[in-house]
Structure 1
Amino acid sequence: MNRRQLLQCLASMAALPGVTYSSQLLAAPATQNRLLLVFLRGAYDASNFLVPTASDFYYESRPTIAIRRPGNEPGSAIALNADWGLHPALRDTLYPMYQNKEIAFIPFAGIDDLSRSHFETQDSIELGQALNTTRNFHSGFLNRLAAVINGGKNDGKSAPAMAFTDQLPLILQGNVQVGNTALKSIAKSGLNEHQNQLIEQMYRKTALAQQVNEGFAVRQEVVKEMQEEMNAANRNAISTKGFELEAQRIARMMREKYALGFIDVGGWDTHVNQGAETGVLANKFEELGRGLLAYKNAMGDQWRNTTVVVISEFGRTFRENGKRGTDHGHGSVYWVLGGGIRGGQIYGEQVALTPGQLFQNRDYPVLNEYRAVLGGLFSRIYGLNPRQLDTVFNGVKGQDLGLI
């Protein structure tokens, strides 16, 4: 192998999912609980998702982008209770799940980080570590959860995990071996057969030889499965795109192989012309709702053992800005879905939305701290004791909201 070939191979390796993750070859037990965390990167506008319909202040603060109170007019909010409504773009997807008690919402949720920086806050959430201490940037909280579920082992065999992303996210970095692969482009391998052979030659006599070979095996297996699905899609003339199709692929892998999963969905930074019942944000809600419904349907009978948590780095300003959008805020709304949850309710500590209740006179306050909320949820799903929970979220007492 000459120098040019070596450099080409090393560059290609950066795009190769699963090279070092032998645990991917193992299937998750059929009865094992599944957890998928969906991260909405960009800070979605929670006030137009879970609409505070009882708040006159909301309508005063959003003269052009507020969602109308529940009523008979097209585009009005869907009443969930006396205080809250759901964006109308979700009438055919999430609302039936709410009626069937398969989804619940937690307003005023988030992190105490006040930077309002996308990257800093995303990192802080994914690490799940205290903000006022030296942090370990090689230890994400889902990786620590996998370690606890695996009984302290680092092979991921008891709870194999997968990030459905181009690169391994911070949230799943750590001692447990975790793979990553973006299913939206799984059939487009960054390596041809000649490059595969060169890489195998490079590592043949090293300690990494077995892991490299298993990595190639994982990719070939996933590509085969996804190609079969794509062929079936062509015959059945499936016309939907984006997150809905990817969610179906993720469900297939989670149903058969993985107990822990992570996916991020971008494009939620709506500073300009975000719209109200229609527009940019409404379209994103509609597509995300279709994707989550497709995920539920594709999970089949495993849906009863599945929990999906949807979060974002922070919320957005309560008042609309001068460009008919919203700016970086603080508190947000989390979603919890699943076949075994106590859905159809709005959970957590809440406060009436009046001018005096806003954080710094601009944002939702954080009343339900994310580590406490997730810690309580994880404790319920996996039966974690206080010591185990402390491994996942050090120094945090879980907030049991009664979701499970």
Structure 2
Amino acid sequence: MNRRAFLVSLPFLYAGRLFAAPSAPARFLLVFLRGGYDAANVLVPVSSSYYYETRPNIAVPRAEALALDADWGLHPALAQSLHPMYEKREAAFIAFAGTHDTSRSHFETQDSIELGQAAGARSYATGFMNRLAAELGGRGAISFTSQLPVAFRGTAQIANVALNMPATRGVDARQSALIAQMYAGSPLGSQVSEGFAARDAVMRDLGDEMVAASRNAVTARAFETQAQRIARLMRGEYRLGFVDVGGWDTHVGEGGAQGYLATRLDELGRGLAALAAAMGDAWRDTVVLVVSEFGR
């Protein structure tokens, strides 16, 4: 395969010329978006009235989606990254791809994908990428994670390099306290305090779920900043790689054309574009597959 970045989950569009004979040893990098990202707001079904009827507050407007054809558009946050790659036939979107796992569990579905076994089978002895590494001679495989993922579990020896970077909140506890103090004693004071308390309670609950679903994966921002490091290793001795990116378990505050998801997509897209650029000539024979356990 030649110069391809694939993104696979639920609604994704299949694009053009995909196969070409490699001119050098092929490379494969799996990017796992942990948390079940909202595929319908990445690859937008702009011709679907149902999409806009059921998403009155978070749908990406037709006028803002980057047109791919009459039926599909791309989230505008990807205008400077994946969209140019798509136009150069270096990116493809595969629509309606998924698994038979209907558990609705992040962990079970992630494991199903990483184990790569027939429906109904479940053995944690080996993941599909470890089996692939063994078929390729057991060398040249690397995981850019804090601990070896299920996909690389098995007998083949896998190099492990952690890329973790702590995430930060937009408004921290100190800033929240200052805002509450500004309104103290005013008619809005109690509402502001109650609002912050409710927000903190919700964010604690959902934050715990997102952290768990992310399985200690790096943030999208960390992936962006580490993309060149990944490329440097992948264009050298490593031919098979894995990295997971967390923060996609969006329940509140996702937004549409702007918002939390848009920011994460911007970071992810810039990371993938930086990876492609840093790979240099090796990009011609590199396949990057981006997956998530399910959509929203």
Q: Could you tell me the TM-score, scaled by structure 1's length?
A: 0.53
**Alpha-carbon distance between aligned partners in 2 of 1:56 and 1:136, rounded to the nearest angstrom:** 42
Offset of 1:85 from its aligned partner? Answer: 0.2
Contact 2:32 2:243 in 1 (8 A): yes
**Alpha-carbon distance between aligned partners in 2 of 1:241 and 1:175, rounded to the nearest angstrom:** 32
Please state if 1:303 is matched with 2:283.
yes
**Alpha-carbon distance between aligned partners in 2 of 1:140 and 1:113, rounded to the nearest angstrom:** 17
User: Which residue pairs with 1:34 in the alignment?
Assistant: 27
Contact 1:183 1:250 in 2 (8 A): no
User: Which residue pairs with 1:257 in the alignment?
Assistant: 237
**Alpha-carbon distance between aligned partners in 2 of 1:249 and 1:108, rounded to the nearest angstrom:** 32
Offset of 1:175 from its aligned partner? Answer: 1.9
Offset of 1:183 from its aligned partner? Answer: 3.4
Please state if 1:43 is matched with 2:23.
no
Which of these residues, 112, 117, 122, is aligned with residue 124 of structure 1?
Answer: 112
Identity over the aligned pairs, expressed in percent? 60
Please state if 1:100 is matched with 2:88.
yes
**Alpha-carbon distance between aligned partners in 2 of 1:306 and 1:132, rounded to the nearest angstrom:** 32
**Alpha-carbon distance between aligned partners in 2 of 1:143 and 1:125, rounded to the nearest angstrom:** 13
SS of corresponding position for 2:84: helix
User: Which residue pairs with 1:244 in the alignment?
Assistant: 224
User: Which residue pairs with 1:77 in the alignment?
Assistant: 65
**Alpha-carbon distance between aligned partners in 1 of 2:74 and 2:222, rounded to the nearest angstrom:** 23
Write the deviation string for residues 264-295 of structure 1: whole angstroms up to 9, x where unpaired.
00010111120001100000000000000000
Contact 2:221 2:268 in 1 (8 A): no
**Alpha-carbon distance between aligned partners in 2 of 1:121 and 1:270, rounded to the nearest angstrom:** 17
1:4-403 correspondence runs (5 A) = 31-69=24-62, 71=63, 76-133=64-121, 135-150=122-137, 156-157=138-139, 160-184=140-164, 242-316=222-296
SS of corresponding position for 1:183: coil
SS of corresponding position for 2:95: strand
Residue segments in structure 1 that go unaligned for 5+ positions in a row: 1-29, 151-155, 186-239, 317-404
CA RMSD of superposed structures (Å): 1.5
Report which of the two structures shows the higher radius of gyration computed on alpha carbons.
Answer: 1
**Alpha-carbon distance between aligned partners in 1 of 2:32 and 2:57, rounded to the nearest angstrom:** 28
**Alpha-carbon distance between aligned partners in 2 of 1:48 and 1:110, rounded to the nearest angstrom:** 17
Contact 1:184 1:246 in 2 (8 A): no
**Alpha-carbon distance between aligned partners in 2 of 1:259 and 1:269, rounded to the nearest angstrom:** 30
**Alpha-carbon distance between aligned partners in 1 of 2:251 and 2:103, rounded to the nearest angstrom:** 17
Contact 1:37 1:261 in 2 (8 A): yes
Contact 2:145 2:164 in 1 (8 A): no
**Alpha-carbon distance between aligned partners in 1 of 2:290 and 2:231, rounded to the nearest angstrom:** 15
Contact 1:128 1:140 in 2 (8 A): yes
Offset of 1:241 from its aligned partner? Answer: 5.5
**Alpha-carbon distance between aligned partners in 1 of 2:94 and 2:249, rounded to the nearest angstrom:** 21
Contact 2:46 2:71 in 1 (8 A): yes
User: Which residue pairs with 1:396 in the alignment?
Assistant: none
**Alpha-carbon distance between aligned partners in 2 of 1:174 and 1:243, rounded to the nearest angstrom:** 26
Offset of 1:136 from its aligned partner? Answer: 2.0
Q: Could you tell me the TM-score, scaled by structure 2's length?
A: 0.72
Larger relative contact order, structure 1 or 2 (CA cutoff 8 Å, min sep 6)? 2
User: Which residue pairs with 2:13 in the alignment?
Assistant: none
Residue segments in structure 2 that go unaligned for 5+ positions in a row: 1-22, 166-219
